[in-house]
Amino acid sequence: MMTPEIQIRHGGDLTQAAALFPDAPGPWVDLSTGINPWPYPLPPIPPVAWTGLPTRGDLRALLAAAALAYGAPGPDSLVAAPGSELLIQTLPRLRAAGEVAIVGPTYGDHARAWAAAGHAVRTVTAPEDAVDAADVVVLCNPNNPDGRAWEVGDLLDRAARLAARGGWLVVDEAYADLDPTRSLCLHAGAPGLVILRSFGKFFGLGGVRLGFVLAPPALLDAVRLALGSWAVSGPALAVGAMALADLGWQATMRRRLSAAAEALDNVLRAGGLRVIGGTALYRLVDAGDAAALWRHLAQAGLWTRPFPEHAGCQAWLRLGLAADVGALDRLAAALAAI
């Protein structure tokens, strides 16, 4: 069982890994996130992006590229932010305290953010369990970490029912780049529908800190006011606009990620693990005793993501994609050594 001092709130912190397991062989292999290990190649960034204030033209170019990539109605249907995480923290403060249902188990910061803003938060297993009672229903589509997904038509129906009572359906599409057919962005602006998109995961550029919200116009105005002027940095505007406009790279990357997820599945199954869900950027396994497997892998220099914070999920372990064959071989060897 994990002790409180080694609870893991987010993946990706190899300084924590090294501190907890100083004798692990290096270099560390980070399998703890759902971030693409093959990032979009960074373009040359104009010096003015660093030295000057971001312009309206820069922002407009980013929003136009995002609307194109996401299938949204147009650049006016989105607001850009320095990461979808900030939007997760901002939305709960833009409406009066009420009843919020989180479809879980899922990304934990949603519940934390709504509770911190004074809302009464509960977890439900499906949106239909709360759509007629809660003021806000929050879900991830596809879900993190199990990859559950909901049909577009069903979610639009839930959003309409919530909107009829002044409520919101908040859909976190952090991993929707992997299967755009499941995205609700085409319907951005529909009453009661709030969509979050993350740039860093699919494009492998988490450090850029870029995200988007798509929502009815009045809520977008409120988000702009909350974020203030120049919410997104000049370098992030430049990188984001170029990457989001590169539809060819995106299509090729989807195929590469799908193949990599299949290769990871083969290693996990050969190691005696049961793959129970995930997306093309991460796989979820039933490890039986996830804490023991997490520790074993960490002692081998492999950092993964357990979920001790979710009741009933102590058997779950999430593994992201290995960046190269050597990392995948290290995982295979560690599993074989159990």
Would you say residue 1 has pLDDT above 70? no
* Look-up of token digits 């806000």: 136
Q: Which of 245, 275, 301 is the last residue of a domain?
A: 245
Query: Which CATH number goes with the domain that contains 97?
Result: 3.40.640.10
Residues 192 and 239 grouped into a single domain? yes
Q: Which two structure tokens, joined as six digits, stand for 185?
A: 């962005």
Nearest CA among 244, 238, 243, 277 for reference residue 261: 277
In this structure, the answer to whether residues 32 and 131 fall within a common structural domain is: no
> How many domains does one find in the chain?
2
Question: Could you report the per-residue pLDDT of 261-288, keeping only the tens digit for each?
Answer: 999 999 999 999 999 999 999 999 999 9
- Which two three-digit tokens encode residue 146? 């199990």
Do residues 93 and 178 share a domain? yes
CATH of the domain at 297: 3.90.1150.10
Per-residue pLDDT, 313: 81
* Domain span holding position 296: 14-38+249-336
What whole-number percentage of the chain has pLDDT above 70? 97
pLDDT at position 7 is: 64
pLDDT score at 87: 98
Q: Is 240 contained in some domain?
A: yes
SS (H, E, C) the chain: CCCHHHCCCCCCCHHHHHHHCCCCCCCCEECCCCCCCCCCCCCCCCHHHHHCCCCHHHHHHHHHHHHHHHCCCCHHHEEEECCHHHHHHHHHHHCCCCEEEEECCCCCHHHHHHHHCCCEEEEECCHHHCCCCCCEEEEECCCCCCCCCCCHHHHHHHHHHHHCCCCEEEEECCCHHHCHHHCCHHHCCCCCEEEEEECHHHHCCHHHCCEEEECCHHHHHHHHHHHCCCCCCHHHHHHHHHHHHCHHHHHHHHHHHHHHHHHHHHHHHHCCCEEEEEECCEEEEECCCHHHHHHHHHHCCEECEECCCCCCCCCEEEEECCCCHHHHHHHHHHHHCC
Domain assignment present for 2? no
- 320 shares a domain with 197: no
Are 205 and 292 in a shared domain?
no
pTM value is 0.95
Last residue of a domain, one of 245, 268, 300: 245
Are the CB atoms for 190 and 157 separated by under 8 Å?
A: no
Residues 82 and 151 in one domain: yes
Boundary-marking domain end, from 196, 214, 245: 245
